[in-house]
Amino acid sequence: MRITVLALMIVSVLAAPVCFASESDLQEAYALYYRGEKETAIKMMEEAVRERPDPGVFYFLGYAYYEMQQMDRANEYFGEAFRLKDFYSPMPPQ
């Protein structure tokens, strides 16, 4: 029992930086996107959703490809966002 608790504590401590790293990577990707480095940002976001699917990131990728006039890719990512969360909206309800 003690070994199991100790193992769980160690795993949770080691897993925390991984979660924070991917969140900071997403923030960096968003910053790159808005600075005009869209292709680099898109690659980072695509890598992030492979590790942790998120409707917000899928939606953002859809919008990024929409802006780049790549409608098939945009539709693919919008579809993934809605598949994960029906009626997904990037705006919070008011």
Dihedral angle, C-alpha 72, 76, 82, 85, nearest 10 ° = -160
What mean pLDDT value characterizes the chain? 79
pLDDT > 90? residue 23: no
Q: Please, which pLDDT band fits residue 85 given cuts at 50, 70 and 90?
A: confident
Which among 1, 6, 47, 53 is positioned nearest to 25, based on CA atoms?
47
- In one-letter notation, the amino acid at residue 47 is E
The model's pLDDT over 36-80, given as tens digits with 9 standing for 90+, comes to 999 999 999 999 999 999 999 999 999 999 999 999 999 999 999
**What three-state secondary structure class fits 68?**
coil
Q: Please, which pLDDT band fits residue 93 given cuts at 50, 70 and 90?
A: low
